């Protein structure tokens, strides 16, 4: 298994084509806009070698029996599902940001199960292909980015009805040795610093959309592929500040790209679905459930940091004993643990699929993510409340370090006597960057927007059973079925 350093070094060999802020990225490892995200991913490699965390961050491969990264492991039990959650919280606590490995992990897990089921029903051999691929990933300990969300154009039209057929990624040519695909995938977390890209369809498909029902994996630096790295809140602070970044080492979110597939060739041994439109929706739902399972893991790790930072901010200005401050801290913890409970519960209530892997309870996984889209905002709101107005008005670190006016910043942003002004500023900058803009939008839309979760809750709710319970207790004789 790779160390953090080995992971970073491996990125230097990639020929990934990427743009950011209108410029070609030549050396992503040394690029200040990208490096923090690389550091966060590197932490997932490095922590696997830390005795304190290795029980969570590693697992035993059911394919090879070798010790592997949990991020390449297919869950073989509910205990594996629970550990997946705990792993994410632990890394979230140590990085305070998105570390980008989950989308690929959940893609691998979902494709593993669905290829098995396609083969069972259609007599194809996707699953064996996939297992070979998976073995390679496990052995070489590669970072895989999951690619799911298509640009989607006009949301009121299905993929095949768009004015531009490329607004959903699709097969444009089938050759003897492979397929050629065109389109793009948006919001791709960690793609730019991954070794591999695993593509999945973005929604259920009908027969007229067979060309859009495609799943495959390719190296990130394959010809025809192009990354455009997106902007984030305060992204330019990465270029000329330290303190003002808040979390200079790891950044504030995962680093998302638009990835463009300009007639990219994929050899058949890396194709895991091609035309089996009936399974597109299943793959999406499986992936979504595995991914929504995570959000009470990673986000609670971040919330732990935020609770701690907020407490420190309160202490640094002498208000940490006030009843209303304590009460808000309790509320932040309460919301955090409610999110965590969701992820633990959907894991514990998981069950085995046909492929032998374990699957979290989808009703509870969706419930968890839906709470994340509310509670992370409320936790952030409370953090901003306690931190005070300086979160919005602090001068830059260049002013703090300025030979003439630095002394005024030192003097007038001083809190309690025995805490240096710079420490106070550092904590406020951390809170600022964890609670503003992109960081929250990620909690909203990562793993699907809230309405996607509501639809799943409705589907999974077994409402007719509940109605029968009520009808019986109400003393009604012949229940009416609703439809």
Active site residues: 98, 102, 189, 256, 291, 295, 298, 442
Nearer of residues 1 and 309 to a second copy, judged by Cβ: 309
Site for a second copy in 175-194 (CB under 8 A): 184, 186-187
From 15, 176, 351, 411, residue interacting with a second copy (rule: CB under 8 A): 411
Helices 102-122, 280-316: crossing angle, 10 deg rounding: 160
Contacts of a second copy in 101-120 (CB under 8 A): none
Q: Is 158 in the site for a second copy (CB under 8 A)?
A: no
Residue 473 Cβ vs a second copy, minimum distance, rounded to whole Å: 5
Nearer Cβ to a second copy (357/371): 371
**Cβ-based nearer residue to a second copy, 137 or 253:** 253
Contact set for a second copy, span 322-361 (CB under 8 A):
323-324, 326-327, 329-330, 333-334, 337-338, 340-342, 344-349
Q: Going residue by residue from 415 to 434, which x/- string records binding to a second copy, judged by CB under 8 A? A: xxxxx---x--xx-xx-x--
**Residue whose CB is less far from a second copy, 141 or 235:** 235
Site string for a second copy, 2-41 (x = CB under 8 A): -----------------xxxxx------------------
Q: Which residues contact 346 (CB under 8 A, 6 or more apart)?
A: 81, 289, 293, 360, 361, 362, 363, 364, 365, 367, 368
Q: Name the residue nearer to a second copy (CB basis): 175 or 468.
A: 468
Least distance (Å) from a second copy to the CB of residue 344? 4
Total residues contacting a second copy by CB under 8 A comes to 157
- Give helix 4-12 / helix 35-46 axis angle, nearest 10°: 140
Map the footprint of a second copy across residues 84-103, applying CB under 8 A: 93-96
Q: Which is nearer to a second copy, 58 or 293 (CB)?
A: 293
CA dihedral 452, 455, 461, 467 (to 10 degrees): 160
Determine the interface stretch with a second copy among 46-54, 56-64, 209-217, 458-466 (rule: CB under 8 A).
Answer: 458-466
* Residue of 3, 233, 268, 353 interacting with a second copy (CB under 8 A): 233
Residues 195-224 that bind a second copy (CB under 8 A): none
Does position 412 interact with a second copy (CB under 8 A)? The reply is yes
Residue from the set 156, 176, 177, 351 that interacts with a second copy by CB under 8 A: 156
Q: Which stretch binds a second copy (CB under 8 A): 64-72, 119-127, 203-211, 404-412?
A: 404-412
Nearer to a second copy, 269 or 348 (CB): 348
Reduced 3-state DSSP string for the chain: CCCHHHHHHHHHCCCCCEEECCEECCCHHHCCCCHHHHHHHHHHHHHHHCCCCHHHHEEECCCCCCEEEHHHCCCCCHHHHHHHHHHHHHHHHHHCCCCCCHHHHHHHHHHHHHHHHHHHHHCCCHHHHHHHHHHHHHHHCCCEEEECCCCCCCCCCCHHHCCCHHHCCEEEEECCCEEEEEEEEEEEECHHHCCEEEECCCCCCCHHHHHHCEEEEEECCCCCEEEEECCCCCCCHHHHCCHHHCCCCCCCCCCEEEEEEEEEEEEHHHEEEECCHHHHHHHHHHHHHHHHHHHHHHHHHHHHHHHHHHHHHHHHCCCCCCHHHHHHHHHHHHHHHHHHHHHHHHHHCCEECCCCCEECCHHHHHHHHHHHHHHHHHHHHHHHHHHCHHHHCCCCHHHHCCCCCHHHHHHHCCCCCCCCHHHHHHHHHHHHHHHCCHHHHHHHHCCCCHHHHHHHHHHHCCHHHHHHHHHHHCCCCCCCCCC
Mask for 288-317, x = binds a second copy (CB under 8 A): ----------------xxxxxx-xx--xxx
* Region from 66-74, 121-129, 173-181, 386-394 binding a second copy, contact rule CB under 8 A: 386-394
* Out of 28, 253, 280, 283, the residue judged to bind a second copy by CB under 8 A: 253
Residues within window 115-144 making contact with a second copy, judged by CB under 8 A: none
Determine the interface stretch with a second copy among 48-56, 99-107, 122-130, 439-447 (rule: CB under 8 A): 439-447
| Span 460-479, contacts to a second copy by CB under 8 A | 461, 463, 465-471, 473-477
């Amino acid at each position: 298994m790779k160390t953090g350093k080995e992971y970073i070094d491996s990125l230097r060999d990639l020929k990934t084509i990427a743009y950011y802020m209108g410029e070609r990225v030549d050396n992503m490892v040394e690029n200040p806009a990208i490096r923090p995200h690389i550091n966060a991913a590197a932490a997932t490699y490095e922590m696997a070698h830390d005795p304190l965390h290795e029980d969570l961050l590693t697992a035993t491969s059911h394919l090879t029996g070798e010790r592997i990264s949990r991020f390449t492991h297919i869950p073989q039990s509910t205990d594996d599902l629970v550990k997946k959650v705990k792993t994410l919280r632990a890394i979230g606590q140590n990085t305070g940001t998105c570390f980008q490995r989950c989308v690929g992990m959940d893609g691998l897990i979902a494709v593993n199960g669905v290829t098995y089921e396609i083969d069972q029903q259609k007599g194809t051999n996707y699953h064996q292909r996939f297992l070979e691929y998976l073995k390679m990933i496990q052995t070489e300990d590669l970072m895989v980015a999951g690619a799911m969300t298509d640009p989607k154009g006009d949301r009121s039209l299905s993929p095949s009805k768009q004015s531009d057929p490329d607004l959903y990624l699709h097969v444009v040519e089938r050759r003897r040795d492979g397929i050629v695909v065109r389109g793009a995938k948006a919001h791709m977390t960690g793609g730019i610093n991954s070794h591999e890209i695993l593509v999945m369809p973005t929604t259920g498909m009908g027969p007229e959309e067979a060309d859009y029902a495609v799943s495959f994996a390719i190296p990130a630096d394959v010809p025809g592929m192009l990354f455009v790295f997106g902007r984030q809140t305060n992204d330019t602070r990465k270029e000329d500040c330290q303190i003002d970044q808040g979390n200079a080492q790891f950044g504030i979110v995962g680093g998302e790209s638009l990835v463009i597939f300009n007639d990219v060739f994929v050899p058949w041994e890396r194709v895991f679905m091609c035309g089996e439109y009936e399974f597109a929706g299943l793959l999406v739902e499986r992936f979504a459930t595995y991914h929504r399972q995570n959000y009470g893991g990673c986000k609670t790790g971040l919330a732990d940091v935020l609770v701690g930072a907020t407490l420190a901010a309160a202490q640094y200005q002498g208000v940490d004993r006030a009843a209303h401050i304590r009460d808000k801290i309790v509320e932040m913890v309460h919301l955090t643990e409610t999110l965590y409970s969701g992820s633990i519960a959907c894991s514990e209530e998981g069950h085995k699929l046909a492929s032998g892997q374990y699957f979290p309870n989808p009703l509870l996984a969706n419930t968890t993510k839906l709470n994340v889209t509310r509670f992370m905002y409320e936790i952030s709101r409370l953090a901003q409340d306690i931190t005070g107005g300086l979160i919005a008005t602090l001068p830059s670190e260049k002013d703090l370090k300025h030979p003439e006016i630095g002394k005024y910043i030192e003097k007038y942003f001083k809190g309690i006597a025995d805490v240096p002004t710079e420490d106070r500023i550092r904590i406020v900058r951390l809170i600022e960057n964890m609670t503003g803009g992109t960081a929250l939008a990620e909690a909203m839309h990562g793993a699907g927007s809230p309405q996607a979760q509501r639809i799943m809750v409705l589907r999974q709710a077994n409402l007719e059973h509940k109605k029968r319970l009520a009808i019986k207790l109400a003393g009604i004789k012949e229940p009416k079925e609703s439809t």
